[in-house]
Structure 1
């Protein structure tokens, strides 16, 4: 039994039924949390060292690395029962959607720094860093996440092409139908 299934088997009803129904979204959110840590770890490492004066460039590099991690985890876990395209085609669509999402993610950070001028010397270092985190890692990431989930489900891993390991998903769905 997979990790998610063993955890879901311990969750009481009616929450279990809701989580099973939205299992794909739950997995996508877990992958998102993982890539959030990758993204922010790399961003702050670059931003506080080699790219001190270029926070948007540091964020873009961090997003690209996190996107590669996201592709592997989403393809092999979140959307494993979907898709079915040739790997190159699927990867190309994934990175196109992710490329648009990078722009969506960077817009709030760019606006914070260069439109609202929330950077030194106009504000304190604390305000600058707080504004960077809120705009780049909260607002930008949430907007990009919504766009990615929609785009991945619609174009990259469409359900009508799904055939991979769908039989793995059926036993747990049958458990959800049984009374607790």
Structure 2
């Protein structure tokens, strides 16, 4: 049983039907939760050690690491049935969208530190860390997640490319000639049967 099936099996109705309908979004949310842990783990590791005086830089590095993890998981799981682009083209678009999402993610943290001055010595260390977490890991992450989901579906893994690939696999030229001839004869026979009979002269 997959992770999604396991979650759905323990979800009561009518929520289960909604989640099944939006299964892709559910997978994206699970990947988001995983990258959330990676993001914050790397961020706090850097912020509390080598980049103590540069929290925004530490956050940017953490987001980049989480973005690489996100690409692998989204490509191979969340949007596995989408796409159709060349892999290098797809990866380039993924990182462009993700790069813009990094900026979206950093805006609340930047405002918290440098516009509202929620940092030591203006506030206590506890207030600073709480403000960092709320602005960088909740508000910023949610805004970036919405932006990424929209960008990935629209530009990186567009459904029409995947549909085009599936349609090509079912194209008429892929049907054996004998089968096509039989289908054509059958269609002509049906047309003749549907024609109104001419009255006898």
TM-score band, normalised by shorter chain: 0.7 to 0.9
- Indicate the residue corresponding to 1:173 in structure 2: none
- Indicate the residue corresponding to 1:84 in structure 2: 84
For the aligned residue pairs, the C-alpha RMSD in angstroms reads 1.5
Any gaps of 5 or more consecutive residues in structure 1? 167-180
Query: By how many angstroms is 1:10 displaced?
Result: 5.2
- Indicate the residue corresponding to 2:33 in structure 1: 33
| Structure-1 separation of matches of 2:131 and 2:15 | 36
| Cα offsets for 1:99-123 (capped at 9, x unmatched) | 0000000011011001111111111
Query: By how many angstroms is 1:3 displaced?
Result: 3.5
- Indicate the residue corresponding to 2:21 in structure 1: 21
- Indicate the residue corresponding to 1:63 in structure 2: 63
Q: How does 1:1-180 map to 2 (within 5 A)?
A: 1-9=1-9, 11-162=11-162
Structure 1's 10 and 46: CA in aligned 2 closer, same or farther, altered over 3 A?
closer
Count of residue pairs the alignment pairs up = 164
Structure 1's 34 and 6: CA in aligned 2 closer, same or farther, altered over 3 A?
closer
TM-score for the superposition, normalised by structure 1: 0.87
Query: By how many angstroms is 1:16 displaced?
Result: 2.3
| Structure-2 separation of matches of 1:52 and 1:7 | 39
| Structure-2 separation of matches of 1:106 and 1:93 | 20
| Bigger Cα displacement from structure 2, 118-127 vs 15-24 | 15-24
Query: By how many angstroms is 1:161 displaced?
Result: 1.2
Query: By how many angstroms is 1:29 displaced?
Result: 0.4
Higher relative contact order structure (alpha carbons within 8 Å, sequence separation ≥ 6):
1
The SS at the match of 1:162 is helix
Q: Which protein has the larger Cα radius of gyration, Structure 1 or Structure 2?
A: 2
| Structure-1 separation of matches of 2:33 and 2:114 | 28
